[in-house]
Amino acid sequence: MAETLDKITKNVSKMYKSYPYPSPSTETNQTNELLNLMRIFELENQIKINNKKFLDAGSGSGHRISNVAQYYKNCNFLGIDISDTSLKIANSLKKKNNLKNIQFKKFNLMNSTASLGKFDFILSMGVLHHLSNPQTGLQNILESLKKDGMLFLYLYGKLGGHKRMLNKKLISILLKKEKLNYELGIKLVRELNLNKFEYGWNLNFKNKDEEDSLIVDSLLHVNETLYDVKDIEKLFKKSGLYGFSIFGISSGTQGFLFDTRINKDKKLSIPQTNVSKFLKSKNSLSLYESLDLKKKYEILDLLYEPNGYTIIGFTKNAYDKITNERLKQNFIKLQ
């Protein structure tokens, strides 16, 4: 018996059928953001990720998770997605790269993932904000998280996404009742010279089809929810997790490790947020230092205007094991 999808889920699935993201190509492309994230996590915690089980909740065309699986050969990966077209590309990548440690499966994240088993890491990068109910989606994927597991989540930013949303609204108004006419929408985007991509979409596309998928995902998507730091806390509040830390943010076309501290214990070569670049007087820095952590989150939100957040959600057991001082100092406890 065929699964009954809600209207939003059905429209999202239909969109990705014609315009799979991040690419309709089966060639390996510049999609190493997820791999870089995991390697930085290893570096800061001075650990090696071995013999772990990963669930990638919303793999899309599989490019990002395939790169991760190719690097972490001693780990096992399950990628799930609702789009048959995307899964076909993902399986082609798997075959092309001879990946033995990854499987792909069709799955609707609006359903419980408990039947999939338990995982050390759950990744959901740029997916939750497209669901018809992100809160339900979060609860569903966490049903597969081990008691000492971690969740890596990427969500769109409200403040940094403002201009993109204005452009999206412009296209929507011009399309009138043709909002789901992607071909016409893509034509308008090109005519208005709006195909200038922010972080996450600024990939080196090789042809029109690849660029079309980026245009649709960034400016013609049928459903998305944007977040600021207050919204993120609200989203996580009922998750059952012990707490969370913002690992990094994207602003414009650049990524930053997130840190509310003024005096950092360790200088990294990787770009980091730095409040003292904006608050340059002793008085303003003193006032900033007097704030609680949540208010410091808000200040960095206003200064950097993120168009995206990478967040790590921790179980209590996972939090107790980490050695990363940056994450611990920026940790928001929920329980």
Do 197 and 307 form a contact (C-beta atoms < 8 A)? no
Long-range interactions of 3-8: CB distance < 8 A, separation 24+? 3/108, 5/108, 5/110, 6/110, 6/132, 7/132, 8/131, 8/132, 8/222, 8/223
Residue 266: the pLDDT is 58
Strands (E), the chain: 53-57, 76-81, 102-106, 119-125, 145-156, 243-251, 254-257, 308-314, 331-333
CA torsion, ordered 83, 125, 217, 128, to nearest 10 deg: 70
Task: Supply 30's token pair.
Answer: 């510049």
Segment holding 304, helix H or strand E: helix 293-304
- Say if residues 143 and 113 touch (Cβ distance below 8 Å): yes
| Structure tokens that stand for 181 in this block | 């006419």
Would you give the DSSP letter of residue 32? Answer: -
C-alpha distances out from residue 5 to 8, 70, 108, 111, 127, Å: 8, 33, 9, 10, 17
Report in angstroms the alpha-carbon separations of 73 from 49, 96, 224. 10, 16, 34
Assess contact for 246 and 297: CB atoms under 8 A. Answer: yes
What is the predicted pLDDT for the residue at 28? 61
Q: What pLDDT shows up at residue 34?
A: 95
Taken as a whole, the chain contains a residue count of 335
| Three-state DSSP class for residue 103 | strand
Domains located in the chain, CATH noted: 31-158+224-255+304-333 (3.40.50.150)
Tokens of 118: 């338990």
Q: Which residues contact 298 (CB under 8 A, 6 or more apart)?
A: 229, 230
Question: In this predicted structure, what is the pLDDT of residue 265?
Answer: 58
**Separation CA 248–CA 118 (nearest Å):** 26
Rounded average pLDDT per 10-residue block, the chain, 335 residues: 81 96 81 93 94 98 96 98 97 96 98 97 98 98 98 97 96 94 97 89 87 96 97 96 98 93 73 94 97 98 98 98 94 94
Structure-token pair, residue 187 = 């034509």
